[in-house]
Amino acid sequence: MISDYSKIPPIIYESAGTDRSDDYNNSNDSVYLKRKLDYYEKILLEKELQLRIVRDELELLKKNMNHK
């Protein structure tokens, strides 16, 4: 666990759709929280789609292996 948040690389914050100052100043701001929630919902949907694609590819590979 990171105890000194100043050592977290900025790219971590950028990939979460926020910046370092947002977490300290706006953590209870409803607009900020809504934006962050929307971002995480988008990421979740993308990951679910990626998972579905990988599962489909796995099933296709299984079928191809069974036909040989």
Query: Mean pLDDT, to the nearest integer, of 7-23?
Result: 65
Cα 31 to chain centroid, rounded:
19
What are the structural domain ranges in the chain? 5-67
pLDDT at 37 over 50: yes
Confidence check: pLDDT of 23 > 60? no
Cα 23 from Cα 28, distance rounded (Å): 9
Distance CA 29, CA 35 (A): 10
Q: What is the mean pLDDT of residues 7-17?
A: 69
Global confidence as pTM: 0.53
Cβ-contact 51, 33 below 8 angstroms? no
Residue 1 pLDDT: 47
For the chain, the average pLDDT equals 81
| pLDDT reported for residue 11 | 74
